[in-house]
Every structure is written in structure tokens, then in C-alpha cells.
């Protein structure tokens, strides 16, 4: 019923294939419009619309290294760098039997 179809990307002008599988997926989801952008341009567009996360400077409570965290550090609460956080998480994980 569905056949691969060549389309032209609205952003970069390159041809891309709207596969039969993608067409079936679109139909199952009730989407009636064909994609206007190739996969790379769709990905870039989604990425450009994301809000940039504010990072805060902190000092790791375990190793003392300078690090950045996605939340405002609160005095009296431990803050870990990425490596130490992974180690703490591993220590807290329930042991498998």
C-alpha cells in the first residue's frame, strides 16, 4: 500500500526518502501532512528550540574538584562532581542477590 517517496527538504534543499514505514507510522498517528524537512534538519530544528540549561559553579563535597551543576547549590547540602556522583549512586544501589 505504501511506497518510498522522494521529497525535497524545505531547509537544506536535499532530497530525502519518506519511507513506506514512516508513511505507515504517520497514518497510524493520524498525521496527514508529509514531512517538510530531512531527518538532519528536523533534529537541528528541535535542538535549536531547546532552552539552554543554566549551570552553577560548585565544589565537589567528596573530592574537592571544581564542577558545574544544573541547580543552585544550597549551603549545608552535598554537591558532587559527575564522577563522584556516579560512585555515590553505585554505593546506594541495592545489592543484587
Residue 58, phi-psi category: left (phi > 0), alpha (psi -120 to 50), beta (remainder): beta
Domain count, the chain: 2
Q: Where do we find the cell 543552585? A: 72
Same domain, 12 and 40: yes
Query: Using one digit for the tens of pLDDT, what is the confidence trace for 9-34?
Result: 999 999 999 999 999 999 999 999 99
pLDDT score of 5 more than 60: yes
Q: Are 65 and 41 in contact (CB under 8 A)?
A: no
Check whether residue 10 and residue 41 sit in a common domain: yes
Residue 97 domain-assigned (yes or no):
no
For residue 97, pLDDT beyond 70: no
- One domain for residues 85 and 61: yes
Per the structure, the complete domain to which residue 11 belongs is given by 5-48
Q: What is the pLDDT of residue 94?
A: 73
pTM of the model: 0.52
At 89 the pLDDT is: 74
Amino acid at each position: 500500500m505504501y511506497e518510498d517517496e522522494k521529497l525535497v527538504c524545505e531547509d537544506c534543499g536535499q532530497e530525502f526518502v519518506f519511507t513506506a514505514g514512516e508513511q505507515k507510522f504517520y497514518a497510524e498517528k493520524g498525521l496527514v501532512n508529509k514531512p517538510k524537512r530531512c531527518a538532519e534538519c528536523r533534529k537541528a530544528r528541535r535542538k535549536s528550540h531547546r532552552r539552554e540549561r543554566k549551570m552553577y559553579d560548585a565544589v565537589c563535597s567528596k573530592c574537592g574538584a571544581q564542577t558545574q551543576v544544573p541547580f543552585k547549590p544550597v549551603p549545608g547540602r552535598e554537591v558532587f562532581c559527575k564522577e563522584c556522583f556516579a560512585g555515590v549512586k553505585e554505593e546506594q544501589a541495592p545489592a543484587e542477590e
